[in-house]
Structure 1
Amino acid sequence: MPEVNYIKHLRDNEDLTINEIVKKTGKNWRTVKRYADGEVPLEKLPSSKNGMMYEDGYGEIVDIWLEEDMKLKRKERRTNKKMFEQLRDEHGFMGSYRTVCDYVQYRKPILKEEKNTRYERLEHPPGEAQVDFGNMTVVKDGAYKDIKALIMSFPYSNAGFAYPLPAENSECFLEGLKQLFKQAGGIPTHLRIDNLSAAVVSIGKGTKRTYTDSFLRFQSHYGFEIQACNPASGHEKGNVEKKVGYTRNNLFVLAPEMESFPQLANWLRMKMDEDMNRPHYERGVSIKELLEEDRKQLKPLPITDLPIYSLAEATLNKYGEISMDGEKFVIHKGRIKQTLIIKKEWDSFTCFTNDGEIVYQESRAYMNQTRAIPWQDIMGDWAKKPRSAAYSRFFKYLPERVRVYLTIMPEESKTRIKGIQNLLDKHSLEDIHNILEVENRFERAPHELGYLIEAKQAAYPEKMTESHTPSILLDYQTDLKTYDQKLCPQLDGRVS
């Protein structure tokens, strides 16, 4: 109204023309004409809509379709024509195509506005997620292994999903997100992340960020919105920060044993799913029930997975090596100074020539990195209280036969613990486990096991298997009579 009053004032009191008012106010000519010479606009009264779209319930059906389609990519949404045909064929709609078009044109902006208003009103709207990495420790092959757990939480329901990974690089981050989306059963509407280098190249003013090409490609494929945190502002994704700590304190304080990443991922998924049966900290219902509200807002997963990898170039040095993740790898099929194309996936890498020939494949170096468990110190503590060894958090990490050896004769536990501790100066637990494979060796003293290990290691090495000798020659027996006849015919076949 202030603008309307100003236009009428210029027209009636200052006698300006329509064109002069347009120049002075910058408004559209028709708008100025309507307000300058027309009546004062009245406030609009709410008008009740009528017609079959409103009275017969067809509009409610279209509203549901429009809300569903808002979660999909534009090319996957229903057209007005498709909605009209579906109403006609499946719901007995007798109206016209134009009626459906008019209703969609009227309702679509209203539904969008309602959705935005609803999101602004709620502190944590359903379907919105936060994601972050957490450092965890597991035990693999009798040694510590430091891993990263990528955790995605939904603040509305407090539901969490986790996926184990070996590092925090771009390939691991995107592979983890892909697996978490599958676990959740859909794609979050908004994903809040911090400024991790796997996704963010540089930080600008406010919420301006420059993202990596691989992350933008991933976002475009899965269709979520990014919410970036400000630098050093972990509280902006406080829900997932707490979920990382909760997961570490409840699942990784006693380091779980890991056979492989797929096995650990299955175990972690089962544990996180069990945890959702507990009640929400405020709402009095289970997290799993509230998760269903989140899932109603999730976008559907795309039909095809996005392959996760990155490409780089590497030139062989004078030793025929390339550097990958800080390790040197010899490429026997390559030539000195040859440039190779490296396809890096989260767990492995592949080397190609410019012609597409694969010349080398290997696991990434961090897949096999471990830290030794300090068995010398641990067994020193056990020797002071031998009966406590079986109850130690570390006891389950010993090889199976070593565990049996230490406990099969309780009266000798202290002696055996000290003996194994001394053997570890020269031999590994795996060596001790292997030498105990013969059952009667459980009766041997530790120093006797040491003699047996040294004798086995000093023995002549086993014959190496090879596949180049023709099978007909493997068990060939020389006929000495033939040689005798050739060398000494006068012996008449007798062996000399």
Structure 2
Amino acid sequence: MELIAELRRLHFVEKVKISELARRFHLSRPTVRKHLQTEGDPVYPTRKQQPYPQLGPYRDRLREWLEFDASLPRKRRHTAQRLFERLQVEGYRGGYSSVQRFVKVWKSARTETPKVTQVFVPLVFSPGDTCQFDWSHETVVIGGVEHVVKVAHFRLSYSRKMFVVAYPRETQEMVLDAHIQAFAFFGGAPKRMVYDNLKTVVDTIFLGKERRFNRRFMALASHYLFEPVACTPESGWEKGQVENQVGNVREWLFTPTPHFDSLVELNVWLAQRCEELARRAHPEQASRTIAACFAEEQGCLIPVTARFDGHVDDMRRVSSQCLVSADRNRYSVPAQWANQVVSVRLSADRVRMVANDDIVADHARCFGRGQLICDPWHYLPVIERKPGALRHGAPFVQWDLPVPIKVVRDRILKQDKGDRAFVELLLMARTLGDSGLETLEVACELTLQSGVICAAVVVNAMQRLTEASRPKTLEPAGASIPQLTLEPVADCSRYDSLRGVTYVH
């Protein structure tokens, strides 16, 4: 606009000719005439259709992704940045702005409802003071099957260091285990933890900020010495950092849907990605990375002196089949506890039964429904009295024994009283402790090599494998072997005299 004003002043006031103005300002004469006729702000023509010289070959691919996203829930859709990164993998060499404009035009054509904006107050946190927690539901493919996993999010408010871990459920033992994993990852606990009012943490909501927290959760807080703080209901902005992290993590880590062989593999990958994302610049301290700020904050965290046992107790009665129901599945307990009450301790990955302050059974936790998880050793006292149950008993049919033991078992069960004979082998293996099954496997291999397969041969092999070795005969050092000076001479005359004796009956 300054140029137009100068041209008009020189021409109309100082009477400078158009050709002289064009030469002086390096403009064409038609351009000078147009500027001389302009009195207000210049109006430039706008393009009705935006050309895409670089994006052109990829517009159909981009449109295909956008149409597929439209059929998904909003939280699983791609952002423009994520679409740009995927196009780069496809070979796109253009800029991000072209992708952003195309996505904007495509979405505006669908007349989506505009977002409602709110105004917030910026917050400042000191190192080690606050950490925010939240859950999210993400879609992953585990073992070839699509699952919806529950992801626990932690975010240190000062350094912005984050930690995420996935679980099958949002139950209380999962909440406890997530805190244990997070504090181990951070190398300490913050002074305050901020939550929304989830039921596994808060039992009762009173007026204002007053809450009644869950007793088991307060045991966790007492162990790690942090103060739990609950937000005002429906006020997620009070923990806005972790709320924002949920969307970012979904974009960065779960779009497109990742594939893993197991949940453990997924969590290992998530921990690695948290470390990698910490190399990014801090959102407020642009000259430093998140990792550098975390190194400063880590020294202000409360040290972790011992690991908390994050389990939830429940009293259950053992059935006559030596089974206890826990989380819609049944787990076995040693036969001596049948028809008695035991304490079931549910943790994130284990199910333990406790009686008289001793752990009587320990199983890996199953997250299906209606599953039967049995330890065959729990039923040995039963089949000792009822050996016929060995053939069709669920614990023994499902028992994944080594191949040599299976072959010998099948041969022995075809023999007369083979059920009882094989039970005696299992009882003998149990007396050997942890190495019993391994010893039985070796004994069965030796029996198969001998060609004579029966329980007595297996027992003999196990005894030879477990018998104590005889000590070697030691000779005194420096001592010589004594020698006979007078060797004895055989006297056969006594035998000859006996031959002449007459016996009287």
Normalising by structure 1, we get a TM-score of 0.48
Q: Which has the larger radius of gyration?
A: 2
Normalising by structure 2, we get a TM-score of 0.47
Larger helix fraction of residues: 1
Q: Which has the higher contact order (CA 8 A, sep 6+)?
A: 1
